[in-house]
Amino acid sequence: MGKILVTGFEAFGKDRSNPTERLARAFDGKRIGGFEVVGEVMPVSYRRIGVSLRKSLDREGPDAVVATGLWKGRTDVTVERVAVNVMDARIPDNDGYRPKDSPVVRGGPAAYLSTFPYHEILAHLREAGVPSTLSYSAGTFICNALLYHVLHESAKRGIPRLAGFLHVPNDPRSVTLKEGAFGMSKPSMSFELMETAVRVALQDTATASEKAQIGAKA
C-alpha cells in the first residue's frame, strides 16, 4: 500500500488553533483508494519547515503530498499552482524570524509548478459544492516555503512523485472569537466543507498516482 502525506500547520501567533492542524489529524490513518493517508502538523517556522518536511518524507516515503495552509481573508479554497524561491515576511514567524527577500533554498530554481492534478481537483471541488479557485501565487510566507521545499525534494530525489497545496479560509469559530462590538465582515468556511475539499484532493491525487505507477511499470 502506498502513502499520501497530508500536512497542516500549528497555530500561528496569538491564534488559539489552526483549522489545517485539525485537517491533518482528521485524515491521519484513513485510506483513500490504495493509499494510506498520513497526517503531519508542520511548524510555522522558516528555519524549521524544511527539516520537518524532510524528516516526514524520510520516515514515510510518500507517493504524494497534499499540503494545506490557512490564508485569512480568502473566501474560498485556493488550489495553488506555483511556489517561488522567496521568503519575504510581513510579520515574524513563530520563532520571531522575519526574512526579507531571502531564498527558500539557496541556489534553487526561481519557481516550481505543482505536480498534483490541479485542474481535476478544481473541477471536482466545484462539483462537490466547495467554493474554489486556481491560484498562481502562494504568497511568500511559510505556506509558499513548504510547497517550494516539497517540490524541490521531489525534483531532487523523486519523493514525493506528486505534490500540491490547498489554501483554506478561516473557520467560523475563529472569526467569531475576534468579532468586535460592531461586527466584522470576515470570510470563513465550515470545517466540514474544508474536509470535503481535502478529500477531493486526496482522491484525485491518489488516482493520478496510481496511473503514474502503472505508466512506470509499462
What's the CA gap between 137 and 148, in Å, rounded?
12
Q: Are strands 77-80 and 132-135 parallel, antiparallel or unpaired?
A: parallel
Asked whether the beta carbons of 9 and 18 are under 8 A apart, the reply is yes
What's the CA gap between 73 and 119, in Å, rounded?
23
Residue entry with cell 499540503? 67
Residues 21, 40, 80, 153: which is the catalytic one? 80
Asked whether the beta carbons of 76 and 26 are under 8 A apart, the reply is no
Can 10 be counted among the known catalytic residues?
no
C-alpha distances in angstroms, 180 versus 47, 175, 177, 184? Answer: 35, 10, 9, 6
What's the CA gap between 61 and 104, in Å, rounded?
22
Residues 124, 149, 152, 167: which is the catalytic one? 167
Can 143 be counted among the known catalytic residues?
yes
Can 60 be counted among the known catalytic residues?
no
For residue 61, give every residue at least 6 positions away whose Cβ sits within 8 Å of its Cβ, in sequence order, or none: 3, 159
Residues 21, 143, 152, 153: which is the catalytic one? 143
Active site residues: 80, 143, 167
